[in-house]
Chain A
Amino acid sequence: MISTTGDGRVLTLALFVVFIAITLGVTFWARANTRSADDFYAGGRAFSGVQNGVALAGDYMSAASFLGIAGLIALSGYDGFLYSIGFLVAWLLSLLLVEMMRNAGRFTMADVLSYRARSRPKVRTAAAVSTVTVSVFYLLAQMVGAGALVSLLLGIHAGDSFLGLSAEAAKTLTIVGVGIMMIFYVMFGGMKATTWVQIIKAVLLIVSTAVLTVLVLSRFGFNLSTMLGAAADASGSAGFLQPGGRYGQDVRGDTVRTVLNKLDFISLALALVLGTAGLPHIVGRFFTVPDARAARRSVNWAIGLVGVFYLMTLALGFGAAALVGQRAISEQDPAGNTAALQLAHELGSHLGGRLGGDLLLAFIGAVAFATILAVVSGLVLASSTSLAHDYFGHVLMLGRPRESQEVAVARISAFLIGSLAIMLAVVARNLNVAFLVALAFAMAASANLPAIVLSLFWKRFTATGALAGIYGGLGSSLVLVLLSPVVSGKVDPVTGQNLSLLPEGVDFQLFPLENPGLVSIPFGFLCAFAGSWLSKEKAEPQGYDELSVRSLTGLGSHRPA
């Protein structure tokens, strides 16, 4: 059991308060230095490639990957590592697109699409709809995760209380608190504050993960094979170090089920690898650097940091399986999200007794909170940017808003989206919404990626194609998830327990896969092609020429002041 002592809790809170204090200071500084739309949306385009690279990594390494993957490896073995690989390889696609997008765009994905559809505000609307939808789903997963984390971290179980709070109240309070902080960062500090929060958090996360990794490896004489062996022995399952523990499981005597399991696994893998380049909070970060070369450098830095981080998840996950043990982990949280925290406690205790354990646990817990807080801020910023710049600026105001107006609208949007996310997360606080992260990736890959890639590379792409691609990809992934086993009709074959989001008895499951990517990504591309072929309008050749000249040479691209 991890610490339930008062000292540990107070220490976690104290460290977290220090983080909040520092980031609030940064926010006030950013507020004083944010005047123009360039400042608010893109941090004045003045971040260096390295700074932005660290921030990109910070935006990307969510609590889901820090706590989630470590837990997944600890409980399911090798299959957790498949997430790490998909999340990393995906960055190559971003690397190939980042320079063109940086050169062509101003603040959002829609800026890039608009070359091909200059006169079509509908495309802007579609991009805003997709951006906000993807961001809100991702936000929801993170915020509900924050609520679950706090009750685990502070050791509040049902019926228990801390500072007079019940577990339920503590969850709600955490979600609201995290929500208020993220709204504050974004409303007041815009991209400048969000980026610095991201940088601080990324450094904290990487350093603490590295410390844990070294401590884990030191327990096994820095021998990877010994650690793996210990983890496999402790797990007691023969296939712990091979793929197949969780995804694409073979069901003996049921070929259909086996094939579906494998397709589901491939579907997830596709969504992970193709989703990153279409995630709004990642794309928005492409515009915060002075030019395309700095953008390339920042993605290279992100690849390096993200790669090292995900390699270390191996040590965290297998280390937790070996040193903490699966039973202790699943007792604390059946989903395994506390594995990294329990590992920290165990490593600290080994080094410095109870105090050491409490200290390290408190530190890692505070880092986990910082991680959640930073990621949700990035998401709120991305969606409010799109609402204000794409929808308000280009649709409602026909592309002629005053800059101050647009930034004011962005601040209000941050407040509205943030409040919406808080309310949804409070309502969903007891649901298992971890699938929303994979869903957000699938939606980004199905709706945003086709529009981005085709507008950059395909001469015949039209506004209708863009609309069809975005709505087709977004709609199909939403509908398929609604009809999938994650929402209804999934029952544990052994225990008969309900594993879906909706209560037992409700069953409208029609689509057999849990992740829609395998169908919705090709469907999104198909819609984009079909829309372009079938529409009567002609592709605008000048728009394409201008986009290719600008994206490849950087002529006319937006520069820092």
Chain B
Amino acid sequence: MAGGSAPRPRRGSERVGGHECSIIVGDRRFRLLKKRFRRLTSVLVVVFLGWYLAYIGLSAFARGFMARPVIGNVNVALVLGMLQFVSTFLLAWYYSRYARRRLDPLSAQIRQEVERRREAYARMMAERQLLEGWNAADETAGGGRR
């Protein structure tokens, strides 16, 4: 599910090491991911909270306006209330679409690269063990960093 086909670390609470972390933090793609996510969240928070508070404000202070009939007994208050539902559905849909298109691929790339680095590191260690004549049989070769 997350990250689609990306290889993922096995179960457990593997911490992301300090060195690994600083590499990722410096990565251009990570900075882009972070920037996009923050922009998305702040825009959405401003939009939905602003619109909600505007609606609450109208309910508290503009009763005459809210009471105006629109169709039959359906008044402005009811239409705006229903629009809060519609906007919630729309914003949730927009967020999910944006995340799927613009965020998930970036995070998948970053994860894949970490995975590659971990494998390369494990291979290197295995080779070194071989060259230096360690008993590599007990160690895991290519099993990722523990």
Contact = CB atoms under 8 A, between A and B. Distances in A.
A and B: interacting chains: yes
Interface of A: 49, 78, 81-82, 85-86, 88-89, 91-93, 95-96, 99, 106, 223-226, 228-229, 232, 239, 241-244, 247-248, 250, 262, 265-266, 269, 273, 290-294, 296, 299-300, 303-304, 307, 310-311, 457, 542, 545-546, 548-550, 552-556, 558-561
Interface in B95-121: 95-96, 99, 104, 107, 110-111, 114
B22 A545 contact: yes
Contact of A269 (B56, B63, B104): B56
B73 A228 contact: yes
A307 B88 contact: yes
15 contacts: A85-B55, A96-B45, A225-B71, A239-B67, A242-B67, A262-B61, A269-B53, A296-B99, A546-B16, A552-B34, A552-B37, A553-B24, A553-B111, A558-B13, A559-B11
A241 B96 contact: no
B8 A300 contact: no
Given A265-B60, A269-B56, A95 B84 contact: no
A556 B52 contact: no
Interface in B23-42: 24-25, 30, 33-34, 37-38, 41
A549 B73 contact: no
A294 B104 CA distance: 12
B135 to A, nearest CB: 30
Chain A interface, >50% SS class? helix
A554 B77 CA distance: 42
Contact of A291 (B2, B71, B74): B2
A512 to B, nearest CB: 16
B13 A556 contact: yes
A242 B53 CA distance: 17
Contacts of B77: 78, 241-243
A96 B44 contact: yes
B38 A457 contact: yes
Given A95-B92, A106-B13, A303-B88, A229 B72 contact: yes
Size category of the B interface is 35 or more
Given A243-B59, A293-B1, A556-B16, A545 B96 contact: no
B15 interface: yes
A262 B53 CA distance: 13
B16 A550 contact: yes
Given A93-B45, A242-B67, A545 B25 contact: yes
B146 interface: no
Most chain A beta-carbon neighbours within 10 Å: one of B49, B75, B85: B85
A227 B75 CA distance: 13
B78 interface: yes
Given A96-B44, A241-B78, A292 B85 contact: no
